[in-house]
Chains A and B, each alone.
Chain A
Amino acid sequence: DTGVSQDPRHKITKRGQNVTFRCDPISEHNRLYWYRQTLGQGPEFLTYFQNEAQLEKSRLLSDRFSAERPKGSFSTLEIQRTEQGDSAMYLCASSIQRPYGYTFGSGTRLTVV
């Protein structure tokens, strides 16, 4: 495993449905981040884990969003009752301790119809 893997690559869902995305970070990286990117914008920070602990959440992460990293390895991001405004690319990244940069996955593109 040489990179960050995200699954699925694409997801089309109807408004109101729940969706779950998975991220598998680089195995030795203890930090994992979720970002959201909409068209024409830079990635926006959503949340951050150090090992299994969720240490920081953005105000962008409404109560419909929940993220977990149960064993400090892979992470899931769930969106409940999806809305059209949730349509975006959801990016996962991992790193070792700061000040180093992140390694990003290829992202999950969500389309809510």
Chain B
Amino acid sequence: AQSVAQPEDQVNVAEGNPLTVKCTYSVSGNPYLFWYVQYPNRGLQFLLKYITGDNLVKGSYGFEAEFNKSQTSFHLKKPSALVSDSALYFCAVRDNNNNDMRFGAGTRLTVKP
């Protein structure tokens, strides 16, 4: 069965500094990996996905993520954080044998001015 781990409940960074939100996954087949962001009392907004190809994926709002097959990781990164990036971030995985997407527990990102 597929699963996702987000080892950090909370990440704090200063505005302008780089940020990383960690994600590791487990699947039986080829992974399709996703990052979503959630603002208070809202649904999830898609940020980026890895399906195949280049290991570095660029997404919305200046975010990017790097797929590392040997480490089964898909960490989310941004070179320079903004206060408006403060939100809850979810990593998700599905493999090519399953229809549903499994989410991690989420990481709360706080960017301080």
Contact = CB atoms under 8 A, between A and B. Distances in A.
Given A43-B90, A50-B99, A104-B36, 14 more contacts: A41-B105, A42-B4, A42-B103, A42-B105, A45-B101, A48-B99, A56-B99, A91-B44, A99-B32, A99-B94, A99-B96, A100-B49, A102-B46, A107-B43
21 contacts: A4-B43, A33-B100, A35-B103, A40-B106, A42-B92, A42-B104, A42-B106, A43-B90, A48-B99, A48-B100, A55-B99, A56-B99, A56-B100, A58-B100, A93-B44, A98-B94, A98-B96, A99-B51, A106-B41, A107-B43, A109-B41
B43 A101 contact: no
Q: Is the interface of B mostly helix, strand, loop or mixed?
A: strand
Interface residues of B, number: 24
Contacts of A44: 103
Contacts, number: 64
B106 A41 contact: yes
Given A42-B104, A98-B99, A104 B49 contact: no
A43 B46 CA distance: 14
Contacts of A48: 99-100
A106 B42 contact: yes
B99 A101 contact: no
Contacts of B100: 33, 45, 48, 56, 58
Given A104-B44, A104-B45, A40 B105 contact: yes
Which range holds the interface residue count of chain A?
A: 20 to 34
B90 A42 contact: yes
Interface string A81-113: 000000000010100001111111111010000
